[in-house]
């Protein structure tokens, strides 16, 4: 049952001509898929819609060849040939039950145009402002260029409506957009009606917003994404300037999407930015407009989200990274399952893919980016396919996730960890200054495992190849029966026994070739000598190391020249142990191997 304190998060919100079913809004964010893999992006967005996000948006979508940001891979809406991919994405979002938003963008001086070789354009003549520091010069836009830009954007709006989008963005944020460069005095030193005063610098934004509303004609909402503070003091967009801009354009868009600084400031890591870290920059701006406002802050706590609404800071809870870590975050809050949320740790591995031109991934959500290619889902997983019991050695993040996933599938799982705590290196890293949120990687999985009766966790249980495992129990507990099952000497009443993945009943020869066995009581040939017995056993196995046999004879202080019938029980057991060890088998199965040995020999 949902916590009534969170009811406010599930109120519908009117956004122009459309209505969001709740206040959860997946803001535009990149995936590294774009035009290269739109089917993967469509599946990713659908899962989020299924998870309860009322609005699910694309990444920024380039509207024209003069906005080519190669090598970065985004979506494009240059012409009609791009529409099938965009239509597929919108349809999949609708299939999940959400409104589909598209962020139309012209990147201006952030566009090196390495593929199209078009001259970059901006408010003035300046080097392009790209992460790649491309040696390209942007030229100042003429009035004709400005008219063309307005036309390109209008055409992009119409194309977006034609393929089913419910909300279209006008992008003026993050120091990535041509409109941002016009708004900021840092880039805009024009002396005509598009430069100088705040009103003049906002003129192009005003015109494009008006164009978008006219083109949408009530069929879709129009959103404005804008930087509220460049964090550069008087050298950039200031609070006073943004208040003037929002106040002047207050009712022009149907939705305001407030972002902070450049892209790096808006996606700050948890080490340098707490949850709701943008609140102090956004607070109060909502009073300047009657239109709904969305903002981000790496929100993972439903209490913090509800406070944003109740205190009039935001109308919609925006999220990129939290929706990546847990696409079902809204659904879990709605169902009163906040403890099951995979909270974003703010490590930014998701956005690191932008710099390697690779698809998105997530520390918390291993299904992220694999929804289409592998058919993975963050909440649903196929049931177990056998009665196998699983041993996982090492309870670092990967071991914990493997145990959680296999446990969810229904397998009986044993998770062992050599140290005294779960989490591997993350346990240590999360104790470093500013990295406490990384502990969520462990906490989420640990509490999930505690609720799985089929998963056992064992600390201080070091395991590695070559180690001896003791199988203990009182007489009659079934130790010897278990060994006989493993050797294929008796059939199990249910299930299967596997060694190295091979069925011990159906593949006995292959299993026995890699196994050496010492029973608790073995009958040997009484008339043979110890040496003859060892030689015979070696011939039977076929893989004995003769040199190692001699070494073992010395280490066991064994006299191989005597007849077997003259040996004590302990000496007969030495023959069995020497033969088994000298076989160099991959697995030794020993049933009470020290029976009959003197205490000093047991220790040796």
Residues carrying an active site annotation: 30, 171, 174, 266
Phi and psi at residue 34, to the nearest 5°: 45, -140
595: tokens are: 């029976």
> DSSP H helical segments within 353-419, as ranges?
397-409
Which residues are CB-neighbours of 440 under 8 A, at least 6 positions away? Answer: 342, 343, 345, 364
Place of tokens 């199988």: 471
Assess contact for 570 and 604: CB atoms under 8 A. Answer: no
The DSSP symbol for 8 reads G
Phi and psi at residue 84, to the nearest 5°: -55, -40
457: tokens are: 């966790």
> Which regions of 550-598 does DSSP assign to beta strands (E)?
587-590
Query: Considering only CA atoms, which of 142, 119, 5 is closest in space to residue 67?
Result: 119
CA-to-CA separations, 5 to 10, 24, 313, 534, in angstroms, rounded: 11, 16, 17, 77
Q: Give the H/E segment covering residue 207.
A: helix 203-216
CA-to-CA separations, 338 to 307, 326, 335, in angstroms, rounded: 16, 11, 8
The C-alpha atoms of residue 485 and residue 421 are separated, in whole angstroms, by 34
Bridge-partner residues for 57, per DSSP? 101
Cis before 281? omega within 30: no
Distance of CA 587 to the CA centre of its chain: 37
Q: Specify the 3-state DSSP secondary structure of 360.
A: coil
The C-alpha atoms of residue 271 and residue 278 are separated, in whole angstroms, by 15
The DSSP symbol for 563 reads B
First-to-final CA distance of the chain: 62
The C-alpha atoms of residue 478 and residue 159 are separated, in whole angstroms, by 72
Parallel, antiparallel or unpaired: strands 167-172 and 221-227: parallel
Phi and psi at residue 280, to the nearest 5°: -70, -20
The C-alpha atoms of residue 378 and residue 458 are separated, in whole angstroms, by 26
């Amino acid at each position: 049952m949902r916590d009534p304190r969170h009811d406010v998060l599930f109120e519908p919100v009117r956004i122009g001509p459309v209505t969001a079913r709740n206040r959860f809004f997946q803001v535009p964010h990149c995936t590294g898929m774009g035009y290269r893999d739109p089917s993967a992006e469509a599946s990713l967005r659908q899962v989020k819609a299924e998870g309860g996000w009322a609005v699910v948006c694309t990444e920024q979508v380039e509207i024209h060849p003069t906005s080519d940001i190669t090598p970065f891979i985004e979506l494009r809406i240059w012409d009609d040939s791009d529409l099938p991919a965009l239509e597929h994405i919108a349809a999949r979002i609708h299939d999940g039950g959400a409104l589909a938003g598209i962020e139309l963008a012209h990147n201006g001086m952030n566009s090196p145009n390495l593929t199209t070789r078009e001259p970059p354009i901006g408010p003035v003549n300046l080097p392009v402002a790209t992460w790649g520091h491309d040696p390209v010069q942007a030229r100042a836009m003429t009035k004709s260029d400005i008219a063309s830009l307005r036309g390109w954007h209008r055409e992009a709006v119409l194309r977006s409506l034609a393929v089913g989008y419910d909300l279209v963005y006008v992008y003026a944020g993050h120091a990535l957009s041509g409109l941002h460069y016009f708004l900021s005095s840092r880039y805009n030193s024009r002396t005509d009606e598009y430069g100088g005063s705040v009103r003049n610098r906002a003129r192009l934004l005003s015109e494009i917003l008006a164009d978008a509303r006219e083109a949408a004609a009530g069929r879709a909402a129009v959103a404005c994404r804008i930087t509220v503070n460049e964090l550069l003091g008087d050298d950039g967009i200031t609070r006073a300037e943004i208040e003037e801009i929002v106040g002047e354009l207050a009712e022009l868009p149907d939705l305001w999407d407030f972002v902070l600084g450049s892209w790096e400031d808006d996606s700050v890591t948890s080490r340098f930015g707490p949850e709701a870290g943008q609140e102090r920059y956004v607070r109060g701006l909502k009073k300047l407009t009657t239109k709904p406002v969305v903002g981000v802050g790496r929100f993972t706590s439903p209490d913090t989200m509800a406070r944003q609404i109740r205190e009039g800071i935001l109308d919609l809870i925006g999220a990129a990274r939290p929706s990546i870590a847990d696409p079902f975050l809204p659904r879990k809050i709605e169902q009163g399952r906040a403890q099951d949320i995979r909270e974003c740790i703010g490590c930014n591995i998701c956005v690191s893919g932008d710099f390697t031109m690779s698809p998105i991934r997530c520390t918390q959500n291993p299904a992220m980016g694999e929804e289409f290619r592998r058919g993975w889902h963050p909440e649903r997983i196929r049931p177990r396919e056998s009665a196998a019991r699983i041993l996982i050695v090492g309870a670092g993040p990967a071991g914990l996730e493997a145990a959680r996933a296999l446990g969810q599938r229904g397998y009986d799982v044993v998770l062992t960890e050599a140290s005294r705590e779960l989490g591997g290196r993350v346990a240590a890293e999360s104790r470093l200054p500013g990295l406490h949120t990384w502990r969520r990687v462990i906490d989420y999985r640990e509490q999930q495992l505690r609720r799985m009766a089929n998963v056992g966790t064992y600390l201080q249980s070091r395991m590695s190849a070559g180690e001896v495992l003791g199988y203990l129990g009182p007489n009659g507990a079934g130790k010897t029966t278990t060994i006989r099952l493993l050797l294929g000497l008796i059939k199990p009443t249910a299930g299967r026994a596997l060694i190295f993945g091979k069925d011990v009943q159906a593949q006995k020869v292959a299993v026995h070739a890699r196994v050496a066995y010492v029973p608790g009581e073995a009958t040997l040939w009484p008339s043979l000598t110890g040496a003859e017995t060892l030689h015979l056993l070696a011939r039977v196995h076929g893989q004995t190391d003769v040199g190692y046999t001699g070494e073992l004879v010395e280490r066991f202080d064994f006299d191989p020249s005597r007849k077997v019938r003259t040996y004590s029980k302990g000496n007969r057991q030495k023959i069995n142990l020497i033969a088994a060890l000298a076989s160099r088998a991959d697995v030794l199965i020993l049933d009470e191997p020290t029976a009959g040995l003197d205490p000093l020999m047991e220790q040796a």
